[in-house]
Structure 1
Amino acid sequence: MKGFSKYIAGISIKNKIFIANILIIVVFISTQSYFANTISQNALIEKEINNSSRELVLIKNNLQTLVSTIEDYSKILASDYRLQNVLYNDFLLNNELNASKLVEGLNNLSMKKTLSETISNIVEPNTKIKAVSILTSNHHWVDVGFADNAYASRIFGDGYGADDRFYLPTWTGLTKFGFLYEGEHNVFAVSKTVIHKDTGKMVGRVFLYVKETTIASIYEGENKGGEFYIVDSAGQIISSQNKAMLYRNFKEAVSISIPENGEDTAFTQGSGSKEMLIFTQRFEPLKWTIVSVIPMDDISSDRKQINQLMIGIGGACLLLALIVSFLLSGSITRPIFQLAKTMREIRTGKMQVRSTYQSKDEIGYLSEGFNNLMNRIEALMAENVEKQRTKAEIEFKLLQSQVKPHFLYNTVETIISLIKLGLGKQAIQAAQYMANFYKISLSKGNDIISIGEEMRLTESYLEIQQLRYVEYMEYTMEIDDEILPYSIPKLTLQPIVENAIYHGLKLKKEKGIIRITGRRCGNNVEIEIYDNGVGMHQNQTKAIMTGFSVFDEAGGFGIRSVSNRIRMLYGERYGLQVESEYGVYTKIIIILPLLHH
């Protein structure tokens, strides 16, 4: 910093004014470019939101048309008189009243021919249906050509389930299905019960197979840079342009959470080059969700031409500013030499020096203002020193208030009780723990100690409390040795542990546990205090996190004091994270910077 100050001091006033003007122009152009860029980006995003929303609605409508068409084909096939007659004849041949054993009537060549002719009008290339299987009322899968009946039997079984009592078409989830001559494909199956029109009997069930690629063809080619997914109600990807994503959990595969309320939404996720614009459209008939994921980089590519134009205009303005600033700075030099001399003296540490230049022109006003400013700075510096001293006193008093007198009284009473009961060894241990606690808590007035010392202090406190409340508490401490030398504000853990005992475990009917763990996470230290006591309500955890709301002075003041103290020392990035479920547990995580003691 001193080297930079010397360099600035060596520049002439003319050049300083010149540089200042250039900086102002640069800042102005940069600010204007920033806001113009931001406005254009927001406009492009808004445009993309409108276009993508319309695109998703179109895809949804096309999907609805496809689904309705396939369901209509299932109804047409199930109501075809030839198919019904063949299935009904098979039903009669194998009726328990008419035959002593099953007769595979559908193996008859003439019947198989009739079924093939019926089905051929339904499947490819006439429709988007890949193949059809038929399950007869007598639990036979009909082999009429393209579908592999062994797969059908293995996937859907040979019996009838609860869905078969419904006469509407039923869609299955995405599954791998085998086809003769082609192997496996990812398909959806649409099943429909066949009811004989004259007798009203259920004589079979038809299964229509639709390939996933048929569904995907609705949206493939629509998006210029993003990805489309169709997700079922269980969160599984059932259609995607990238087939490797099929059958995977959507949230785990792409790290995006779909709103569970079923509403159509548009939101952004991620940051930088990984920021995405996400749209969802609910397809209610099948409880599917259509998801469009568009990288923000693809949307902002149109801004390149705008940015190039802005750079050209900015360069022209900067060139003009250079010329004007050079001419202007040359006309202002001599009147401020004396003020510059005064400033150089102040820069050397002579804060009492003031400018002696007096005039009624602008430089005179500047000199007077400079003197007033220095007077104000001196006053503020004195005020700041006083505030720092007051702050240190308050912190010290807050620190001392953590070592509560009633803990000393209770510990002494515990020692006396142990002596009366003839437990001299335990009484000595309690006295040693109390001595260790107060020795470390005083720590020669140091406010910052090592994590190792803080852990020994906390362990002494817990051992004393365990002697008093052995019937309802126990504890464990698992601290990585790596973090023990790092620093921590003194008496950080004790208020939290005390709160866990008195407002968590003590109110619980059975014995509970306090678990303290510590580890390094990147450039931070994380210490976690867990207890399985009565937990806290949501408003209580919120009060601790915000540090403002007072929900329970007995239970929350100490913890909020710890949080506020850490933030005051290290900044808003650090402090406490609270997680609790009422009646189950409470977990408080202390986040500290990685600083050596």
Structure 2
Amino acid sequence: MKGYKQYFNGLSIKNKIFSTNILIIILSISIIALFANIVSQKAIIEKAVKNSSRELVLIDNNLQTLITTVEDYSKILATDYRLQNELYNDFLENNNLSTSSHYVGGLDNLSMKKTLSEVISNIVEPNTNIKAVSVLTSNHQWVDVGFADNVVASRIFGSGSEAIDHSFQPVLTGLMKFKFRYEGDDNVFAVTKTVIHKDTGKTVGLVVLYVKETVIASIYERKMNYKGGNFYILDQYGKIISSQNKANLYRDFKEATSISIPTSTEVETGFFQGNGSEKVLVSTHRLEPLEWSIVSVIPIDEITVERKEINKLTIWVGALCLLLAFIVSYLLSRSITRPIFQLSRTMRDIRTGHLTVRSSYQSSDEIGYLNDVFNNLMDRIEELVAENVEEQKTKAEIEFKLLQTQVQPHFLYNTLETIISLIKLNMKTEAITAAKYMASFYKISLSKGNDIITLREEMHLSESYLEIQQLRYVEYMEYTMDIDEEIMSCSISKLTLQPIVENAIYHGLKRKTEKGLLRITGRRMGEEVRIEIYDNGVGIEESQIKGLLREASESSERAGFGVRSVHNRIRMLYGDRYGIELESEVGLYTRVTIRLPFKPLREV
């Protein structure tokens, strides 16, 4: 968390605004999408449960209609007067065998078969959903009229009186395997109806109507709203008697599907079973009065396929919204931060020294007000800087004049004392030499009132000073000067070297117990001139080195005043990158490096 906070704080304002807006928008879209997904899934599942329940009710109605229709056809067939007459005549013949020893069943008569075929043909395919019809006579014969295999019928239903149901109502059997003459075995349901003669009330036979299982299956196959769903019809024992997958017929439902249907007294039940992609919605509907159950099994993935489409639409809409949000956030952050960046660039230009640069952004908003305040502030700062520069210049000139007033009388007094001493010692030649060097020193130091002279002139001035000092302190010092001719014409502020040389003598070499060396060297380095004054005197403490370049108000020592004055004049004339650098080790040496721009005097 701390690292993320540091990373966020390191971003620009533009990126902070942009990333914050995008984060808020992404979070909002994600929450809305999640909420919509949950709500839509719940609504779709509720809709699926209702649809499934409604489908089962419709299947129940259609199945009841089909069964009722088949039962009605069985009643119609059983009461048809032609069928009754043929069966009744057969009944009479069966009970009067003594009248003819050569009796052959009446139904073997071709005319009778024709009559029965005409009656039955009206209620079988293609006129109805009934595949075939079998007729059992009172003399225990199964009539061969149509597609039904009478041998199979005899084996399933029997041929004696036990085959005839005396309840006189149509009876629907369970699922069975039955053979048809031209199509082979098939799965069928059968409706049986006892034939009662309408005049005598005698039981004269039995009719059996066959309905294929595929007819039952076609009812719910037409009602399927979900492609991956499955419907099952179970008998009272939980056996599958109708299914889209015919391999499941006659199997226990739990064994075939691994789904347990809880025992319930309710007509309709619904529940979910399984986990993940195997989760299914199971809906049941009890079919009264057959004690059958209609079961639908729908995978949850099929139910939520609409949700997937909604999710795709949500993703597309979210992506478009996010793209629009990117564009709007970018434009918004850019419109806010662009004037800030412009103000920031102006500040960078000012920091590099371009104090006259100003921000050009104009607006009545807060940033426009900030720009106006900044420009006014810089105008005031520029005025103050100009005033400060002028004050510093005046101060430097005053310090320079003060330095001159300090150096010249002091040097003049000491030099005259030296000349007098030389004359008293009858060293007239040395006295004359001292006088010449003093005259040269003052000639150059006056330099017709010019404060900027050539390095050559400054070196002559320093040489005159050193020669006179060597006459006075011959036992303390000796000096060397090595200046490249290339830099001799460069400009330098008058009396730049003399205060440094004076410090080296009085505060370095003079305090040494043995004779010391003062060395002045000058070289060009690129576009700079570097003059080095080195002495192997007593050195300077590190704390004193820092104090030598501080403001004059912080130190009253004359040595510090001279060095500061030279340093300040160089920076004022040439800029902050130039000036004096000090390096020293106590008891070993002191090195003062003066850095100046390489500018011949003619360019000044």
Q: TM-score, normalised by structure 1?
A: 0.49
State TM-score, norm by structure 2.
0.49
